[in-house]
Structure 1
Amino acid sequence: MPLLRPLLYLLVLGLGALARPAWAISESDLLPVDQAFALTAEATSSEQITLRWKIAPGYYLYRHRISVASASREFTAGALALPDGDKHQDEFFGAVETYRDQLTAQLAGQAAAGARQVALKVKYQGCADAGICYPPQQRTLTVELPAGVATGAAPASSLLRGLPGANPVLSVPGQGGIAGMDAAALPAERAFQVDAIAVDGQQLLLRFTPAPGYYVYRDKITLALKNAAGITLLSPRPPAGTAHRDEHFGQVQVYFNQVEIPVPLARSETAAREATLVVGFQGCLKDGICYSPMQRELAVSIPAGAITAGARPQAPQTEAATSTSAGGQAAPAEVPRTRPPEEVLAKAASEDISLGLALLLALAGGLVLNLMPCVLPVLSLKALTLASGNDEGSARRRALAYTAGVLLGFLVLGGVVVALRGAGQALGWGFHLQQPWVVALLAYVMFGVGLNLSGVFGLGYGLAGVGHGLTSRHGASGDFFTGVLAVVIASPCTAPYMVTALAYAFTAPVPVALLVFLTLGLGLALPFLLMGFVPALANRLPRPGAWMDTLKQALAFPMYLTAAWLLWVLGQQRGVDALGAALAGAVVLALALWWMQRLQLRRAPLQRALVALVLLASLLPLGWIARQPPPAARATTAAEGKVTYSPKALAELRAQGRIVLVDMTADWCVTCKANEKAVLDTDAFRASLKAHDAVLMTGDWTTVDPEITAFLEQHKAVGVPLYVVFPRGGGEGRVLPTVLTQAIVDAALTQAGTP
């Protein structure tokens, strides 16, 4: 489980606070990590390096947390030989071995010819008997190689070169302040401010304000309400956090900036109460110390309120916590466990509209999606199918097959995104095109479709079977897979009405969400469904004839253009090298398909096997592309009339009294690009920004970006484009329509500048 390791880590960090009272730990007993575990290394030969830890009394290292790897090409590291440690059952790690006093480890390997020194990356973790565990440590050591014979150990100052700027420190109790810790670290009360107020008699508002560079773990927040008879906490509504990558424990959700969490109340009595909100949480300094679990008791004046009809308070699950009294004694308190954050995303969207209205909007959104630019390739395929002509019975069967493909495509794609969001992933509609290998694969499919339409091959299997080899088949199977392809290609677009329906689906129970996705699919398939079941509409189509072969070849070019667009998106995501790899793969694919056609009527088992290998070879670039890092983004500034989106930059511009138009876009979003061409990249738009002293802030969602996903969720958007105008002088932002015009932008900027 992705969250198991970080939660275990946090438990270990809090070991000291749980093992003994805070007043029993003396600051003078705790050493900086490099004094507690003094590390040196020497090369006894070009094939062996000895590492030594001198461990201070009262401290120990975990064997299973020690690893060494080469950090340079001059040395190929082998196995690390560690002696047996003291075996015991650890409360958190189970059966472990530990080392005290000193540890000598031998690293086998081979130095390159002529190498004078090598670099090693050493990881380790240890604890103090006082009950404090250091965070996992990493050091980069430079070791001089002997000139033919073994030499003594070099001084620690020359052997041990920590990472630039690193000042290893240890986890601290809730009140902060440990000798040897980073001077920049603040006491917990200053690092993490927590406030709570009663908005009214039905809701509290909890506010966390971490100091700059600090963050709070979203999944460690717990709440309890004391001295509030007749009032019960309902599940809170925490906003999406920032995905934070921990080097040792993977992905976690945190809050770096001030965050407000609404906490609904269920009431069985109307009287006002002077209550106490008990808040449990845990936080860290980025690249520094992690604080032990903390607890704050906040006085809250809850005014009189209405009795909640049919309220369902959260289940009475509890977890033990501690609160320090004035006398310094640790007294137990019961803190109800909040539901996991992925289960308590804001449900405002699902509360704003009814299910019936959501389904109606979904049907309308799917219908309008047929008019969006992204659906052009699929419309080209269907135009060819409709023009081929059929009797009424066949037309109905083909319409139903196409509809089934669309419905299944929406059901699968929608189910995947709902499941991944429920698991805490920061995803939105069109998420699959944020994956470079998916973009490259779709480019291959559209390229294969074009080759088929151009007559390069006419086989219904191989990679083309993913695309037009299936969609070009006669009968129900071809129409079914055309419907599936329609969803894959069209899904990055969000049409009017579709946004609200998707927002409803993302917060509704799973069966209701799937019903919304099915209704969206029905809207997309409705025009072709009508063509099959209403003869009067079908009769208006041109009759089949020799012209169809010309039309078929002409329709290959929209497929090629779609493939070119997808390759451009890939280049934006992973750079020109990835683009070149995909182009090379496309050439190999074309060779395989051409060769297939040549062998269609021949019995040549060996050649067919070679063709299969060539076809597989065309897929090899996909794996390489998936591993490539994104190219460095160029940040823009307000002096250029636009800035790159970040929550901090948005807050600073608003504090300066500027009007800000936030444009959330992606290179794979055709509607976004159409709006840019028609409005956002024009001289009229730039003149309007200047006239209103406004700034365009652009967020690029071409690849996964948790901060942009959080912004989308905050404004109940499920994908891009999203345009929000923030007024001068504060206040809520105004969401603009999905399809922009200059008149819409001018009106919004004028309103945003009006006091």
Structure 2
Amino acid sequence: MRRLLCLLLFVLALPAAATGLLESRPSSTLGSINNSADFLPVREAFQLSLVESTSQSIKLRFVATEGYYLYRHRFQFRAEPGDVTLGAAQLPDGQKKHDEYFGDVEVYHGILDVELPRSDQRAFTLVVTYQGCADKGLCYPPETERLSINAGNSVSVPYSWSWRELALFFLAGLGLTFTPCVLPMLPILSGVVLRGQVGGWRGFNLSLAYVLPMAACFALLGALMGMFGAQLNLQARLQSAWVLVPFATFFAVFALAMFGVFELKLPHAISSRLDRIAGRTEGGSLWGAAVLGVVSSLLVSPCVSAPLAGALLYISASGDALGGGLKLFMLGLGMGAPLLLVATGGAAWLPKSGPWLIYVKNAIGVLLLGLAIGLLSRVLPGQVTLLLIGLLAAGVGLFLGALEFVYKPPRKRLGQLFGMFLLFYALACWFGAFSGQSDPFNPIGQSRTIASNAPTQETSAWQTVDTPAELDRVLAQARSANTALLLDWYADWCISCKVIEREVLNDSIVIERLKGYRLVRFDITQSNAEQRALLDRYQLFGPPALMFFGKDGVERVDVRVIGEINARDFAERVARANDRI
């Protein structure tokens, strides 16, 4: 039960830090395990919808899934037929991103609203072209979608929500109920609302009158965030250090409160006034139960502000007022469901309060500190982030008794063993940080830096093709010559392709292991229909990708690389391919 509750809270709070956990530059450590399942199809990664069409303007909305971003300079908008005139697209400023290959560019995370001025009242087809990338190191070719625009009359497109999302918010609210912040609502319900008379239809009706207004308060907050959150574009703004640092501080403060360093509650002036309202409210009536439900939601919300902030941030990315209200309404219902059980069947329905609640609080505190570090990782050097991760791991290890060499029962000995593992991991993180490493999954790994005197791959060793017919011809020649072939998918607009070309394919070990291969590079820069059909043929979303073909001309799919990869992991991949060709 404790693990389940912690997991639910973590799932709820995770969206608040998701953008902080992703680097703006693709991570080279992920490519070694990448495959097609790691990436979404382009139209799932970037969702385009028509928000509103009037006689004066057309409003479009792009929603980039977490971990994906769109390029500002790659947008194109045109009308069919061509004699329909459109004004210049009104694009907001994006997040500035400097790339060593492409210079200064602007990108968009999260929600992007685009407005197109319109003077022609005829119906037409709007052709929208856009391009984006995944943070993991995959660049999608330019994508084109066509939207039918009606004549000058106004059209507004509603948003949608899924039952699955509502169910997840209900479960998250259910998990929040079993925290020391929400459990004090039980005596309010049983002592004031029910006047100690638990059970039956009377208890159910009064408790429902108590829970529904409480959930309605959360719903109002969710609706406001869904309505105005898209304009604020909080997920995109979280890319700024001016927002990341305060949010990280926010999570750290709540973590300290979870550890019992101080008690977090509303200011005395506000809480005392709410207490007086609750005290004057008549118990045993539906109206009194409703008022107490509203007051209780105000008293409880500061305790759950960290998970609530994550939920609000998630809702803000939808731009859906109705969906946002429904999601937080379900969160409130989840928090109130156990209260309904208590009022209807008595306290026997709920687990007894005890020391396990302290473990829940501590676990939530650790998660919140992890989220704070994840946010700061976007603005801090990798070595500093690795130091902080090691510090957190060491703290948890010591809390679990890693250095307490006294007799303990079996359960605590198991916790101590895990604590010792965390302590050793913390030492590895600190050693790696002072050695110039930044990868928490490989804290003491070797640096990717290539020695200046290392041999480089000759440009002439690579044969570049850009049509399916040329590629088929080259593959046939390699099969006839009984030669293994390495196919590199490349594009000029693909940042990760440049990284792989410079830092991976020029590595001395990689060059040595690729001896005997025919090296072919397919240039998909133009991204025409013929090239995109070839992507579909090989079940690829875009570059970079590296494919190994044996001497028999058959691809060794199990060693295919999609996305960015570092030199060491790719050298291991080549070694595995050599065993299969």
Q: TM-score range by the shorter chain?
A: 0.3 to 0.5
Q: What TM-score does the superposition give when structure 2 sets the normalisation length?
A: 0.35
Q: What TM-score does the superposition give when structure 1 sets the normalisation length?
A: 0.29
Q: Is the helix fraction higher in 1 or 2?
A: 2
Q: Is the strand fraction higher in 1 or 2?
A: 1
Identify the structure with bigger relative contact order (alpha carbons < 8 Å, sequence gap 6+). 2
If you compute each CA radius of gyration, which structure gives the higher value, 1 or 2? 1
